[in-house]
Amino acid sequence: MKVSPSATRLLHHAGLALALLGASPPALAADAAPSSGPLIEVRLRHESVDDAAFARNAGADTLRLRLGYRWLFAPGWQLYVDGEHVESLFGDRYNSTANGRTTYPVVADPETDEINQAWIGYSNDGFNAALGRQRVMLDNQRFFGNVGWRQNEQSFDAFSAGYAFGHGGPTLRYVYLDRVLRVFGHENPNPLLREWSLDGHLLHLDQTLPLGSLAAYAYLVENKDIATLSTRTFGARWTGKHAFDGATLGWAVEWADQSDYANNPAAQSARYRLVEPSVDIRSITIKAGWEVLGGDGHSAFGTPYATLHAFNGWADRFLSTPLDGLDDRYLSVGGKIGKAAWSANYHDYRADHGHQDYGHEFGASIGYPFGSHF
């Protein structure tokens, strides 16, 4: 598998958000105290793909409207619901995975109308819980995320609970997964792109250390629709930052072991490892990384519920791990010039098993806020 040097992906997006920028279940929420109120969010987006494997380039102009409301109806209790409408503008010059335009490269933003989140939650004295359709975002979203990059979010029908023990103690989270609503939309003609039925148990423990923080996790997920995706994963992640002499040194180190689980007919065993040091100097961040998703030619380490676009390059060539695995060595640099944020990165890809050369990728981005709502 080669990453074509002529395959490019260009994205422009603008958003207008009013009243509330989003909501997550209380077990996974931000520190800010919630308040009752509406969500109104509009995101206009253009994405183009120039891929040498296709005779025509893709150009996707899409509009997303998200409307929602959070209601704090009793002390500690809240109810949240939001829905999404995604519409294609100016014609379908791209393969949305649902529109049948297979002569174009894929831009996975199909037209859809659906309930994105609908959950009831309770929080009190370090305890949080939520039941219903919700976001599930753990750590850096390498294993479970909402795929916020796409117009249609990924969400889960789930129960989540968390407890912070306080006084320097750990934070424990548990999530039960019943179903995942995928980014390809509930109107997709392919039922396996619409959703997967799950029986999943996620256990996650965070502990702040004198130097950084440590997370340990166990993810046992049975996929009732695609049995080969049923896996158990055990791992640990250590992250932190340390300031010295005008600079800040950062790091992320992670290791995980994955094997077959429940209805999986195959005997699978693969490992994941990550080493990612970084340094911040005068508002410039330089980061190097080595991420390996193991493979043996028959099966590979998989993360099918992750926010995949955030990893292994922006051209989306590795949304599923090749059977020989993936060895990704990368370097990135980024910073700010006034209000503008910029970054550039380089990835070198090869197989973990057999060391086949997959190719390389260079990416660059720049973003500028035009106001408090744009």
Which DSSP helix (H) or strand (E) runs through 167?
Answer: none
Kindly state the average pLDDT of the residues 302-326.
Answer: 95
Neighbour tally for 367: CB within 10 Å: 11
d(CA 255, CA 276): 12
The model's pLDDT over 236-280, given as tens digits with 9 standing for 90+, comes to: 999 999 998 889 999 999 999 999 999 999 999 999 999 999 999
Confidence category of residue 15, pLDDT binned at 50, 70, 90: very low
Which distant-in-sequence residues (6+ apart) come within 8 Å of 93 by Cβ? Answer: 56, 58, 59, 60, 101, 104
The model's pLDDT over 177-191, given as tens digits with 9 standing for 90+, comes to: 999 999 999 999 999
The model's pLDDT over 31-57, given as tens digits with 9 standing for 90+, comes to: 456 789 999 999 999 999 888 889 999
Which DSSP string corresponds to 309-342?
Answer: GGSS-SS---SS--TT-EEEEEEEEEEEETTEEE
d(CA 234, CA 258): 7
The predicted pLDDT at position 22 comes to 55
Residue at 228 is within a domain: no
The predicted pLDDT at position 7 comes to 58
Residue at 315 is within a domain: yes
The predicted pLDDT at position 19 comes to 38
Question: In the chain, where does DSSP find H-type helix?
Answer: 191-194
The model's pLDDT over 247-259, given as tens digits with 9 standing for 90+, comes to: 999 999 999 999 9
Total domains, the chain:
1
Count of CA atoms in the C-beta half-sphere (13 A) of 28: 25
Q: Using an 8 Å Cβ cutoff, are 16 and 42 in contact?
A: yes
Where does residue 73 rank: exposed (0-12), middle (13-18), buried (19+ CB within 10 A)? exposed
Residue at 4 is within a domain: no
The predicted pLDDT at position 367 comes to 86
Residue at 245 is within a domain: yes
Q: Using an 8 Å Cβ cutoff, are 83 and 116 in contact?
A: yes
d(CA 331, CA 353): 22
The predicted pLDDT at position 89 comes to 93
Kindly state the average pLDDT of the residues 99-124.
Answer: 95
C-alpha closest to that of 319 among 198, 203, 101, 149: 149
d(CA 198, CA 300): 20
d(CA 95, CA 83): 23
The model's pLDDT over 142-178, given as tens digits with 9 standing for 90+, comes to: 999 999 999 999 999 999 999 999 888 999 999 999 9
Which DSSP string corresponds to 168-230?
Answer: T--EEEEEEEEEEE-TT-TT-SSHHHHEEEEEEEEEEEEEE-SSSEEEEEEEEEEESS-GGG-
Q: How far is CA 189 from CA 29, 98, 111, 217, in A?
A: 33, 6, 12, 35
Confidence check: pLDDT of 288 > 90? yes
Residue at 335 is within a domain: yes
Kindly state the average pLDDT of the residues 74-91.
Answer: 95
Residue at 132 is within a domain: no
Report the share of the chain in percent with pLDDT over 70: 90
The predicted pLDDT at position 4 comes to 44
The predicted pLDDT at position 338 comes to 87
The predicted pLDDT at position 244 comes to 87
The predicted pLDDT at position 33 comes to 63
- The overall average pLDDT reported for the chain is 91
Confidence check: pLDDT of 227 > 70? yes
Residue at 341 is within a domain: yes
- Domain limits for position 241: 237-374
Kindly state the average pLDDT of the residues 350-372.
Answer: 89
The predicted pLDDT at position 331 comes to 98
Confidence check: pLDDT of 13 > 90? no
Of 12-21, 87-96, 278-287, the range with the lowest mean pLDDT is 12-21
Residue at 282 is within a domain: yes
Which distant-in-sequence residues (6+ apart) come within 8 Å of 358 by Cβ? Answer: 1, 2, 3, 317, 322, 326, 349, 350, 351
The predicted pLDDT at position 25 comes to 73
- Give the rounded distance of the alpha carbon of 257 from its chain centre: 20
Q: What is the pTM of this model?
A: 0.91
Q: What are the phi and psi torsion angles at 246 (to 5°)?
A: 80, 5
